[in-house]
Structure 1
Amino acid sequence: MPEAIDTVAVARLYGEPLFQLPLDLYIPPDALEVFLEAFQGPLDLLLYLIRKQNFNILDIPLADVTRQYLSYVEQIRQHNLELASEYLLMAAMLIEIKSRMLLPPKKTEDGKEAEDPRAELVRRLLEYEQIKLAAARLDRLPVLGRDFLRAQVHIEQSLTPRFPDVNTDDLREAWLDILKRAKLNQHHKISREQLSVREHMSLVLRRLQGQRFVEFENLFDVTRGQAVLVVTFIAMLELARERLLEITQAEAFAPIYVRLAYTQV
């Protein structure tokens, strides 16, 4: 083996240098083909011929376009008959349209001029061109894997600990537990309040002065605490025992009213 292998080897096969081509190597004639223009179908070829020569798509010179179209179909038919079959269908349509244009136009049943034989072909070409332009705009958008790659960063698990998600029920239980402990640590200051039943009896009588009826619950001042409510109720019962006021009710479960016993109705 010579030392300068890369300078004399004609090829490499599986990493090994080849110094001469195999004698039994067969290369088919169509192994390498160069297409200067690639078309996606008959409409694509037809649109290319029209736009390349700046023809008006609404007034296609059908003879010139058909001649160029058939010339291209003849070339691809010699190499790929299966591919040429769909192009031959469009060629037959072009010839049929051209033959209809050579005939004198016939009016429709309602007396109107007949539609241009090229109208349907023009509609298909315009729709195809719109779809092709939209596809080209979409293809120009950045595509993952073609125009950019997704950044991937590997982070050690030990550097980013995974904390468990907190359930709302667990959070509520924790809050209630804090409230419970706060109540256990509250300081209570107990003071003695001097309350007189006689004094509250006088207050009740003054409250009823000039009133025909007063609803039972309106005689209590709920803002002064539970002790005051109890003393007020005892004062009311004491006044009722001494027949100084009357507690009445129109019917069962009806509101309870209080009035002075000596009030003239």
Structure 2
Amino acid sequence: MLPEQAGHDVPAEPRPDGAFPPPDDPTAAAAPADSAIARLYGEPLTRMPNDLYIPPDALEVFLDAFEGPLDLLLYLIRKQNFNILDIPMAQVTLQYLKYVEQIRQRNLELAAEYLLMAAMLIEIKSRMLLPKRHDDLVEDVGDPRAELVRRLLEYEQIKVAAAGIGALPQEGRDFVRPQLFVEQGLAPALPDVDPWDLQRAWLDVIRRAKLTQHHRIGRQELSVREHMTAILRTLQSQRFIEFSELFAGQHTVPIVVVHFVAMLELAKETLIEITQAEPFAPIYVRLAYSPA
């Protein structure tokens, strides 16, 4: 079937100079949608408009994107395998200025930060060209590139660390957390409690109960004189008695303390003697010797 019979017009043929006829040219007709070079608002476009204007800056291709002056400077050094501890300032400065000149012509606000680094590079280059002064009164400041090298090394470490963090899997970018809808019933699901859970709960209650215990202090009246009399009565029936045997039958700490104080009072009044045959030997208590 011919195009005329199908209800379609024959597409216009280009002229010998390669241009399409103008829109009012009767030879320019609509072509099938499958031969359109583009679509404008959903309609197929079969030829380029004669009044189409494309601005020079409409399409820009950036082969290398830099996040700042240090990033550009580090790129120039690493690309040419320069030693970062011995930077050839002349070559690096010239290459840096060429790039800054390109971005200055397009975006002056973006170039301001790069121009500051360019001034720093020129200053370092100028200081390296100056002859060194051998004067004891003037302190040697060292290599002018030292501060720049320090900043470059720190920036490179941060950049490598950021790249490592960026390479980690990220939710929403590298993987999606699965979600599953579970229809819950009306009957509440009670948890399973085993004897071990009950035992742990009971031990926790006991532990908290011990923290709230109250200590009651009672008052007990004890007489030192009575204990002194008891010690003398015990020594009258025995010639010697070991120190620890004096405290036999004393069951509480307060009574033991009062009994010991009573023994010291008797020794102070020279009514008893506390003897020991040799170091670390048993200690004996006896009545004081009194001549007849």
Tell me the TM-score normalised to structure 2 length: 0.50
| Cα separation, partners in 2 of 1:19 and 1:104, compared to 1, 3 Å | same
Greater fraction helix:
1
- SS of equivalent to 1:127: helix
Q: 1:6-45 counterparts in 2 under 5 A?
A: 6-21=33-48, 25-45=52-72
CA–CA distance in 1 between the matches of 2:109 and 2:138?
45
Give the equivalent residue in structure 2 for 1:141. 168
Aligned residues: 166
CA–CA distance in 1 between the matches of 2:158 and 2:134?
34
Give the equivalent residue in structure 2 for 1:61. 88
Give the equivalent residue in structure 2 for 1:125. 152
What are the Cα deviations for residues 119-139 of structure 1, in whole angstroms up to 9, with x where unaligned? 111111011000000001111
| Cα separation, partners in 2 of 1:81 and 1:117, compared to 1, 3 Å | same
RMSD between superposed Cα atoms in Å? 3.0
| Cα separation, partners in 2 of 1:162 and 1:131, compared to 1, 3 Å | farther
Whether the aligned pair in 2 keeps the contact of 1:107 and 1:114 (CA below 8 Å) is no
Query: Taking CA–CA contacts closer than 8 Å with sequence separation of 6 or more, which of the two structures ends up with the larger relative contact order?
Result: 1
Q: 1:83-102 counterparts in 2 under 5 A?
A: 83-102=110-129
Percent identity of paired positions between Structure 1 and Structure 2? 69
Give the equivalent residue in structure 1 for 2:189. 163
| Cα separation, partners in 2 of 1:154 and 1:69, compared to 1, 3 Å | same
Give the equivalent residue in structure 2 for 1:175. none
Q: Work out whether 1:113 is the aligned partner of 2:140.
A: yes
Structure 2: tracts of 5 or more residues without a match = 1-6, 10-30, 193-197, 199-292
| Cα separation, partners in 2 of 1:97 and 1:24, compared to 1, 3 Å | same
Shift of 1:165: 7.8
CA–CA distance in 1 between the matches of 2:183 and 2:141?
77
CA–CA distance in 1 between the matches of 2:181 and 2:145?
62
Shift of 1:109: 6.9
| Cα separation, partners in 2 of 1:110 and 1:129, compared to 1, 3 Å | farther
Structure 1: tracts of 5 or more residues without a match = 167-171, 173-265
Q: 1:171-250 counterparts in 2 under 5 A?
A: none
CA–CA distance in 2 between the matches of 1:31 and 1:123?
40
| Cα separation, partners in 2 of 1:91 and 1:155, compared to 1, 3 Å | same
Structure 2 residue aligned with 1:48, among 75, 89, 101? 75
Letter in 2 for 1:125: L
Shift of 1:65: 0.6
- SS of equivalent to 1:72: helix
CA–CA distance in 2 between the matches of 1:156 and 1:24?
62
CA–CA distance in 2 between the matches of 1:54 and 1:162?
69
| Cα separation, partners in 2 of 1:44 and 1:2, compared to 1, 3 Å | farther
CA–CA distance in 1 between the matches of 2:135 and 2:67?
37
CA–CA distance in 1 between the matches of 2:73 and 2:135?
30
| Cα separation, partners in 2 of 1:106 and 1:11, compared to 1, 3 Å | same
CA–CA distance in 2 between the matches of 1:90 and 1:21?
46
| Cα separation, partners in 2 of 1:115 and 1:108, compared to 1, 3 Å | farther
Shift of 1:78: 2.3
- SS of equivalent to 1:153: coil
- SS of equivalent to 1:17: strand
Structure 1 residue aligned with 2:107, among 80, 91, 95? 80
Shift of 1:79: 2.2
Shift of 1:90: 0.8
CA–CA distance in 2 between the matches of 1:71 and 1:128?
22
